[in-house]
Amino acid sequence: MQFTIEVGRFNPEGTYPENAVPGAPFPAPWDRSPARRYQTFMVDLPEHAVVLDALIAIREYQDQSLAVRCACRSAICGSCAMWINGHANLACKSRLSAFTQDGKTRVESPPSMPIIRDLVCDMKPFWDKHLAVKPWLQNKQPVPPPNEEYRVSNASMEELIQEVSCISCSACLMDCESFAVNPDFLGPQALAQAFRYAGDPRDAETKERLAEYSKPGGIWDCTHCYECVTQCPKGVAPLEQILKLRRMAVDAGFTNNAGTRHADAFAESVRDSGRLNELTLMPKSVGFFNIVEQIKTLPSAFNLIRAGKLPPLIHKAIPGINRIKTIFERVGGRFK
């Protein structure tokens, strides 16, 4: 079966094959990668072939200069993560027949990561974020005697099984929209691993970890785009772990931050009126007296006015608001 593969080529020396043509620039927020060109190849492979099969065939029989990173070919090592048709996937488990669109499949390095060459991106941002969350246990004292070990319940460890499945492929970070616009964001994988250690009953610095994760660039910078959940090849669902960390941080008293205030303002507005009061959401989130941060939001306000989406100046409660309040009372928590 014949497949058409469009490969994103990048050479830091600026030399490209003659038939490699410039591609359109990436839309925002994917705008940090250098310009690249695209080269089209035709490969003849079985119907069950995967994207990595095509790339290896191209490298072996058509263009030996093609740079592609791969190893296990079994969705275990995670090294072949790349953008396939605009989203991060493992090339070794992506069937060509499923990823062929308009008669072709486009593969390229993710535009939010630095490119080394062709399909090989620099993983330094990923590993820097991974190490920033201190992915190791801080032993509680006293430590067990030499011939013994910490004993924890099965239930407490079952909470951490999902995160242990991570293969560090970086697919979640490659597609993370928060990371694309804010390079300081720790990212889905790092925060999923953060929960693996903050949630471990053997760790002695859970509170210190939560304090760090609650700072700018941490758990409250996630925008719930769900790309990390969709693209994770191992079902780690990083967003779920980030939400667990948020609950842990709030329960531990780390509430003096824009993220917690935003969540509080959102819930209070829904409880009191049944709908979101967008006029007060931002001031309550950044602080009514934080004039500098409020001024930074003015461009967004002007865009809303221009688009005719300015919220009503008089915020009214919906009919039957008492039913909403009853739900809050029954659920309990911070806003009952």
Q: In this model, does residue 29 exceed pLDDT 90? A: no
State both tokens at 187: 């990212």
Q: Is the pLDDT of residue 247 over 70?
A: yes
Q: Please provide the size of the chain in residues.
A: 336
Q: What is the mean pLDDT of residues 322-326?
A: 92
Higher pLDDT, 336 or 276: 276
Instruction: Find the mean pLDDT for residues 286-294.
Output: 77
pLDDT tens across 302-311, in order? 887 788 777 7
Taking the CB of residue 186, how many other CB atoms lie within 10 A of it? 27
> How many domains are there within the chain?
3
Residues 129, 247 within the same domain: yes
Q: Are 171 and 121 in contact (CB under 8 A)?
A: no
The pLDDT tens digits of the residues spanning 80-111 come to 999 999 999 999 999 999 999 999 999 999 99
CB within 8 Å of 92: residues ≥ 6 apart: 50, 51, 52, 70, 72, 73, 74, 75, 80
Asked if residue 307 and residue 196 are part of one domain, the reply reads no
148-157 LR contacts (CB < 8 Å, sep 24+): 150/202, 152/200, 152/201, 152/202, 153/201, 156/200, 156/201
pLDDT in tens, 108-154: 999 999 999 999 999 999 999 999 999 999 988 777 888 888 788 88
Question: Over 60: is that where the pLDDT of 78 sits?
Answer: yes
What mean pLDDT do residues 219-238 have? 95
The percent of residues in the chain predicted with pLDDT above 90, rounded, is: 68
Look at phi and psi of residue 274 and say left if phi exceeds 0, alpha if psi is from -120 to 50, else beta. left
Give me the phi and psi of 39, to 5 degrees please: -120, 135
Domain CATH number, residue 189: 1.10.1060.10
> Which pLDDT belongs to residue 334?
72
| Whether residue 131 sits in one domain with residue 66 | no
Determine the pLDDT at residue 335.
63
Domain that holds residue 160: 124-251
